[in-house]
Copies of this chain bind each other. A is one copy, B any other.
Amino acid sequence: MAIRVAILGATGYTAVELIKILLRHPEVTITALTSRQEGNAPIASVHPTLVGRISANLENLTPAEVAARAECVFSCLPHCASAEVIPELLKAGCRVVDFSADYRLNSPQVYEEWYGHRHPDPERLGKVPYGLPELFREEIRGASLVANPGCYPTSVILALAPLLKAGLIEPRDIIVDSKSGVSGAGRTPKLTTHFPECNESLSAYNVGRHRHQPEIEQVLGQVAGSTVEVVFTPHLVPMDRGILTTTYSRPTRQVSEDEVLDCLESFYQNEPFVQVVDHLPATKDTAGTNFCHITARIVRDRIVTVSCLDNLVKGASGAAVQNFNLMYGFPETTALL
């Protein structure tokens, strides 16, 4: 029998992508789509791409009502709002994949410092698996709550984790220059994402102050077994979707390009969704897919990695379904190829 799933905060871009993936999943029935603002509109009226594909309406439901309808909940709520309802859902027996940042950081202090709110559920921090199957597959299997990773962190961590784990690069001399399409900024209209402002333009934003920095450093730190520090600069690119991350790190010893590529390849040799490639990948190669493409070069005394993925799929909703598949014991690639 199919798993009954609910999606909280179903009006954003990650939710519509999630719905499209779940409609292809043979083991899933979508039983609730919630929204606080949109009243009881048909979801297809909010996302016309769903016309003829799903007839459900949005609903403003309490956690108890959600729990009565669904065994598994995907929370696409914003940070803070998410952690306010998840404890009740878990108590009621639901399993949850959380798209927000609420359960990604281990420290309530770090959370408060970067997100500006006291964490609503601090006791659980540090006990929730970080939903990157390539690193934490065993913890995710059978978990009742998974913290779905941020889009930038996925592109960064997948590129650097193998090199840190192998001790190939210095953990405190890492530059991360990331570039993202505009869907990453969400669906609320703002001047910075108004078409005539960001079209035909490129800019850096939140230099040194982006909330994904502590997430990257925490996860890479776990992998490295020592403190990792990155200088992280995100950029806004005039395209819908896609993240490309270029990292610059310093080898701990003389290495060849082949050695670096081998390190990546052997790390990911059994992974269905991470592809180590020889050529320089483009975000378009991964658009609409759950894949991440990675390559590496040696330039002067640095290792340069280039990795890319679709921020709405491997960077959000595809990863969430990959986690869901692991949590429920379905083949990991179900609905994702």
Distance in angstroms from A271 CB to nearest chain B CB is 9
Please, which residues of chain B bring their CB within 8 A of the CB of A189? Answer: 189-191, 193-194
Please state if B187 and A299 are interface contacts (CB–CB under 8 Å). no
Distance in angstroms from A282 CB to nearest chain B CB is 4
Please state if A237 and B240 are interface contacts (CB–CB under 8 Å). no
Stretch at the interface among A86-94, A117-125, A227-235: A227-235
Nearest to A280 among chain B residues (CB) is B204
* A208 CB contact (under 8 Å) in B239, B282, B297: B297
| Whole-angstrom CA separation of A239 from B190 in the bound complex | 18
Nearest to A257 among chain B residues (CB) is B208
Please state if B302 and A231 are interface contacts (CB–CB under 8 Å). yes
| Whole-angstrom CA separation of A51 from B337 in the bound complex | 12
Nearest to A286 among chain B residues (CB) is B49
How many chain-A residues does the 8 Å CB contact rule pick out?
A: 73
- Kindly supply a per-residue 1/0 record for chain A positions 264-297, scoring 1 wherever the CB is within 8 Å of any chain B CB and 0 otherwise: 0000000011010101111111111101010001
**Interface pairs (5), CB distance under 8 Å:** A48-B281, A51-B285, A203-B283, A208-B297, A208-B298
Please state if A304 and B196 are interface contacts (CB–CB under 8 Å). no
The residues in A between 206 and 244 inclusive whose CB is less than 8 angstroms from any CB of B are 207-208, 229, 231-233, 235, 237-242, 244
The residues in A between 153 and 188 inclusive whose CB is less than 8 angstroms from any CB of B are 175, 177, 179, 181-183, 187
Please, which residues of chain B bring their CB within 8 A of the CB of A291? Answer: 51-53
Q: Is A24 on the interface with B (CB-CB < 8 A)?
A: yes
What 9 pairs between A and B have smallest CB-CB spacing? A208-B299, A201-B284, A203-B282, A189-B189, A48-B285, A177-B177, A182-B195, A183-B196, A189-B194
Of the listed residues A233, A284, A286, the one surrounded by the most CB atoms of chain B closer than 10 A to its CB is A284
Please state if A202 and B275 are interface contacts (CB–CB under 8 Å). no
Please, which residues of chain B bring their CB within 8 A of the CB of A304? Answer: 207-208, 231, 233
Of the listed residues A189, A199, A202, A304, the one surrounded by the most CB atoms of chain B closer than 10 A to its CB is A202
Nearest to A196 among chain B residues (CB) is B183
| Whole-angstrom CA separation of A237 from B242 in the bound complex | 12
Please state if B51 and A293 are interface contacts (CB–CB under 8 Å). yes
Please state if A244 and B193 are interface contacts (CB–CB under 8 Å). no
Please state if B246 and A233 are interface contacts (CB–CB under 8 Å). yes
Please state if A182 and B207 are interface contacts (CB–CB under 8 Å). no
* A187 CB contact (under 8 Å) in B194, B204, B237: B194
Please state if A175 and B239 are interface contacts (CB–CB under 8 Å). no
Q: Given A208-B300, A297-B207, verify A284-B231 contact (CB < 8 Å).
A: no
Please state if B200 and A235 are interface contacts (CB–CB under 8 Å). no
Please state if A275 and B52 are interface contacts (CB–CB under 8 Å). yes
Please state if B194 and A282 are interface contacts (CB–CB under 8 Å). no
Distance in angstroms from A154 CB to nearest chain B CB is 16
Please, which residues of chain B bring their CB within 8 A of the CB of A232? Answer: 299
Q: Known pairs A48-B285, A49-B289, A231-B248. 11 more at Cβ < 8 A? A: A48-B282, A49-B284, A51-B275, A175-B248, A199-B238, A199-B239, A200-B284, A202-B242, A207-B306, A208-B299, A231-B299
